Copies of this chain bind each other. A is one copy, B any other.
Amino acid sequence: MIIEPNTEESRGSFKPTMSEDDVLRQIEQAVIDHRLPPGTKLKEVQLAEVFGVKRGTIRKVLSRLAYSRLVDQLPNRGASVAKPSVKEGRDLFATRRAIEGAIIQILTPEIERSGIQSLRQMLDQEQNAYLKGDSKLALALSVDFHRQLAKMCGNSVLQEYLNDIIRRTPLVILTHLSADPQNRCRNQEHEAIVDALESGDAKRAVEIMNQHLLHIENRIEHKSEEVQPDLATILLTG
């Protein structure tokens, strides 16, 4: 079968050529949306045709994705969507606690009233999305809440690292979890975090953030056992 290049002619509609960043985002989103399951082979020419770009563009994108551990690259045998181990998942969450703990620690003594207000606005939006049943939007806003805390604390490196962790997390979850719509943060816990921030008690705020992250973490660890039965279970129950 011959796959036609994604030119303007072949698709009938105008579409500006995608930039390298566009392609990167598309692939990233495809991973998050589970359209590219872990382990999927990412062939260069195929991707180039799909996105209507040159192979060189795809090559650069794959390198970048490999750098952020979203794809695995093996010499002479190309790239595939990464399959992070359960351990890597655990390590990622443990690191996240350290990072977000530090963020809260820095932020608590210096956050302004206006900062608290804008956070509460975000919580409202999140709650609205949830009540409307738009769980995808709710999840996105929930992630944005964490990102916003990182931004507010003003430490660019902590921000950078949290973004890295957030980027890698969906893959870790997908790899060891059957798709679960309940993966999002509970809104009330976010409220508790803002309350603690407002109270000015850094130690308490860090503790609450930690509990929040542990809740998510435990929910995942729990499931990961179920979907990874041992060989005997697989072979002897048929």
Contact = CB atoms under 8 A, between A and B. Distances in A.
Interface of A: 60, 63-64, 67, 87-88, 91-92, 94-95, 97-99, 101-102, 106, 155-158, 161, 165
Contact of A161 (B60, B64, B95): B95
A158 B98 contact: yes
29 contacts: A60-B63, A63-B63, A64-B67, A67-B67, A87-B156, A88-B156, A88-B157, A91-B155, A91-B156, A91-B157, A91-B158, A94-B102, A94-B106, A94-B155, A94-B157, A94-B158, A95-B99, A95-B102, A95-B155, A95-B157, A95-B158, A95-B161, A97-B102, A98-B98, A98-B99, A98-B102, A98-B158, A157-B165, A161-B161
Nearest to A67: B67
A88 B179 CA distance: 39
Contacts of A94: 102, 106, 155, 157-158
Contacts of A87: 156
